Amino acid sequence: MAYQDLKEAVIAYSKEIGIDQIGFASVEPFKELKARLEEQQALGYASGFEKGTPEERTTPRKLQPEAESIIAIALAYPTKLKDAPKSVKGDRRGMFCRASWGTDYHEVLRDKLNKLAAFLEEQVSDFCHTSMVDTGELSDRAVAERAGVGFSGKNTLIISPEFGSYIYLGEMITNIPFTPDQPIEEGCGTCTKCLDACPTGALVEPGRLNAQQCLAFLTQTKGFMPDEHRDKLGNFIYGFETCQAVCPYNRGVDFHHHSEFEPDPELVKPRLTDLLNISNREFKEKFGAMAGSWRGKKPLQRNAILALGHYKETSALDQLIDLMNHDPRPVIRGTAAWSIGKMDTESGFRAIQQAMTYETDPEVIVEMEKGLRFKTIKQ
């Protein structure tokens, strides 16, 4: 089959298996991206979750020597939660960002890429490929941009004119010389909504993110949340998406093409207090299939504690005092102390003072002192 015919057959097959968008890119090194990645590292703006060196991440032939093209795919995901439980005083709910709704997208996209690979294997005798979703060396976004799936917004995300930025991206390096597609021209124009709305200033300039200030990244870290960001998360316990919520390209966007991504309201908006003492086993059973569980339960529990403090949810005070006194993890004890202080109650301050008489971890003690300072500020 001629390569152009094969390309058309791949596009047709991609529709059959539920891929929302597909594009084809060359395997030329991503030179501009390489310089940018090096700059990000030098500035301390990288997240640390990246895989591979800038050279590996921008040179497809380093990953597959016989590479001739890259196929980029995108799947749109839902944005609206039907029958969402209300988060009210006495029954506060946390929120997983939309990219964690339903089954972990890595699995769903890998399945689509495997199907595409199986299709190509039937057509091309010496076919070889390397597929990636999010955690591979290649930048999903750079590939998607080159393949014309969308343009790169000032919020650093790929924006598809049809699906907005609520899309999952994946790619397959192949040894088939498919004709590349053209990047799309559309752009942000004079809009700066995402830069203006970011509560931490993580979008330091159009198209440049300091991951170390990005709340979506910070919800996934395992240490203490930086003080200045603790009150900015609201009820988000995993991810953060203001820069997408305000984007005009996402207005009215809500695609339900994939049953795997349909959210269970009780899972994506769980009761905060239910998370505090959840066992490893129950956590795995309930949340293990979601993308948001990849760092384990501790970051989510820390964020749940912060949310309870932020909302001054005093109905959780006893549970938090119990965590402060007995949890073996310093981050949880210290964060609980901070949130107890934030609630500004006499019994809370007394509990912190008492706990300080036997707490030995210096970092936790610092958090306890911070908790007590909320009282000082009030007086």
Catalytically active residues, by annotation: 134
Collapsing DSSP to helix, strand or coil, 304 comes out as helix
Smallest distance, ligand SF4 to C-beta of residue 198, A: 10
CB 59 within 8 Å of CB 52: no
Indicate which single residue of 194, 216, 272, 316 sits in contact with ligand SF4 (rule: CB under 6 A). Answer: 194
Smallest distance, ligand SF4 to C-beta of residue 154, A: 4
Indicate which single residue of 223, 248, 288, 296 sits in contact with ligand SF4 (rule: CB under 6 A). Answer: 248
Distance CA 149, CA 166 (A): 13
State yes or no: 243 annotated in a binding site.
Answer: yes
Q: Which stretch binds ligand SF4 (CB under 6 A): 95-103, 116-124, 140-148, 185-193?
A: 185-193
Distance CA 256, CA 239 (A): 21
| Contacts of residue 54, Cβ cutoff 8 Å, sequence gap at least 6 | 34, 37, 38, 41
Q: Which stretch binds ligand SF4 (CB under 6 A): 53-61, 70-78, 192-200, 313-321?
A: 192-200
State yes or no: 86 annotated in a binding site.
Answer: no
Collapsing DSSP to helix, strand or coil, 205 comes out as strand
Indicate which single residue of 11, 191, 204, 372 sits in contact with ligand SF4 (rule: CB under 6 A). Answer: 191
Beta-sheet strands, E only, within 137-261: 151-152, 158-159, 167-174, 203-205, 208-209, 236-238
Distance CA 249, CA 151 (A): 11
Q: Which is nearer to ligand SF4, 9 or 191 (CB)?
A: 191
- Regarding 112 and contact with ligand SF4 (CB under 6 A), the answer is no
State yes or no: 167 annotated in a binding site.
Answer: no
Q: Which is nearer to ligand SF4, 249 or 374 (CB)?
A: 249
Smallest distance, ligand SF4 to C-beta of residue 245, A: 9
- Regarding 150 and contact with ligand SF4 (CB under 6 A), the answer is no
- Regarding 280 and contact with ligand SF4 (CB under 6 A), the answer is no
- Regarding 184 and contact with ligand SF4 (CB under 6 A), the answer is no
Main-chain phi, psi angles of 86, to 5 degrees: -75, 145
SS (H, E, C) 99-149: HHCCCCHHHHHHHHHHHHHHHHHHHCCCCCEEEECCCCCCCHHHHHHHCCC
Chain residues in the site for ligand SF4 (CB under 6 A): 153-155, 188, 191-194, 246-249
